[in-house]
Amino acid sequence: MGMPISRTTLLHRVRAGGTKPIPPVTVLGVDDWAWRKGHRYGTILCDLERRRVIDLLPDRSADTLAAWLMMHPGISVVARDRAGAYAEGAARGAPEAIQVADRWHLLRNASDALRGVLEHHHRDLREAAQTAALKPEPLTLEENNSGPATASETERPLRAAERRSRAAQERRDARFAEVARLREQGMALKAIARTTGIERKTVRRWLRAGHAPTWRHAARATSILDPYRAHLEERWQAGCHNGAALWRDLKGQGFAGQYSVVRNWAMQRRREDPSLRKSTGPRRHSAATRVTEPPTPRRAVRLLTVDLDVLSEEDRQFVVSLRDRSPAIATAADLISRFTTMVKDKTPTMFDGWLREAEASALGPFAAGIRRDEDAVRAALTEPWSSGQVEGHVNRLKVIKRDMYGRAGFDLLRSRVLAHA
């Protein structure tokens, strides 16, 4: 622009822009931001009604926040995360203000609490994963084809699978009966979901269908081996267990498939034959003997808290087996699912009963934290305010901070953030 001005003057002008008076604030959003993640943090303050940043604080201590609040009276609502320092600072600096715990942080804390429970049950996770891996699965075209096993080989596992399947179906039918009963009484879908702990979309889908979902194993796909299965089984019973020999035999009868198809059939057949599994000598780890890697606690949290309808068959079997093996996990997962529904649907009437049950469960430490922050959590279930928009302002602050990384201090950062507000 051809204007003669020094960089010192420019910086002075930018810094001067951050000294504007702060307008009266009624609803304040509070969150932290990182100078250096894991080491040093500051605090960002936002006017949630005007949706703009109003100030930055150099740290996230209770004293600093309390002092700022005392200098700016008139605040009636403070929306914050679960940090104890912010709770203390808000209580000291604005004792009359309603504190609202951020709902996203509540759900994150709940997920972490369930993960903490699962981290004490690695054995249950491992055994549930093994059980799920041994369930009959839908057969693919080539990889999982097997010959007809004898009655003695198939009856026991099929009976066990059917028992588990029937038990699961009975539980679903009972839940559907409860849903249908509440609907007949005139209860709304949202109220039914809140009462039963079932997602509202699931309630709607069940009522439209008129019954609970029924899950069955997919039918086996056709295979190029089908015309030769009887011959393969005859050769197998005669003692020929070598995949290459069986393949050469089938080639002589006009079989046009690859060796791998017959090899996979032979491998599957060996897994089903107890006499072959007990053979002595060095053993290679086949898919049947290899230890199945269980889901991590983080992934198990997701499996336990989503609708079973969206899971694969193996994941559903894992969840059912894990719940059967550990009543503590089943109770904790149900409590977290109910807590999630309560927070998302903002239903404070469920809070007292839920908290008493949670305090008596493996979620005791999480429930104790909720009890300490009870007023703010209750407010999160009734107030419309949250820290969501504050997180967006934190992201914008990060962009500005990186743009001037290593070349400025707090005063210039504050001025630039407020100038962008």
307-347: per-residue pLDDT in tens? 887 888 888 889 999 999 889 999 999 999 999 999 988 88
Residue with tokens 């290679």: 284
pLDDT of residue 358: 93
Helix 200-209 × helix 151-184 angle, to 10°: 100
- Mapped onto helix, strand or coil, the DSSP state of residue 53 is strand
What is the maximal distance between C-alpha atoms in the chain?
99
Instruction: Please provide the size of the chain in residues.
Output: 421
Mean pLDDT score, 169-191? 86
- Of all residues in the chain, the percent with pLDDT exceeding 90 is 27
- Confidence bin at 153 (pLDDT 50/70/90): very low
- Residue 202's pLDDT band, with cuts at 50, 70 and 90, is confident
pLDDT digit string, tens, across residues 48-73: 988 898 888 989 899 999 999 999 88
* Predicted local confidence at residue 281, as pLDDT: 46
Read off the pLDDT of each residue in 406-420 and give the average, rounded to a whole number: 76
SS3 288: coil
Q: What is the residue extent of each domain of the chain?
A: 7-102+386-420, 105-121+295-373, 167-219
The Cα 224–Cα 140 span in angstroms is 12
Secondary-structure class of domain 7-102+386-420 per CATH? alpha beta
Q: Give the pLDDT of residue 335.
A: 93
Q: Which of 70, 54, 50, 52 is nearest to 62 (CA)?
A: 70
420 residue type, one letter? H
pLDDT of residue 155: 40
Mean pLDDT of the chain: 80
CA neighbours within 13 Å on the CB side: how many for 51?
3
What would the pLDDT profile of 213-234 be if each residue is shown by its tens digit? 776 554 455 778 888 888 888 8
Q: Rounded to the nearest 5°, which phi and psi values hold at 361?
A: -110, -175
Angle between helices 327-345 and 103-118 (to 10 degrees): 170
Say how many C-beta atoms besides its own lie within 10 A of residue 331's C-beta: 18
What is the per-residue pLDDT across 348-394, written as a single tens digit (0 to 9) for each? 888 999 999 999 999 999 999 999 999 999 999 999 888 888 888 88
Q: Contact 110/366 with Cβ under 8 angstroms?
A: yes
| pTM score above 0.75 | no
Query: How many Å from the N-terminal Cα to the C-terminal Cα in the chain?
Result: 25
| pLDDT reported for residue 34 | 87
Name 52's bridge partners: 47
Residue 402 makes CB contacts below 8 A (sequence gap 6+) with none
Which range (127-141, 278-292, 306-320) has the least confidence? 278-292
Distances in Å between the Cα of 2 and the Cα atoms of 5, 6 are: 9, 12
C-alpha distances in angstroms, 168 versus 163, 203, 300, 324, 399? 9, 18, 19, 11, 51
Contacts of 308 (CB under 8 A, 6+ apart): 316, 319
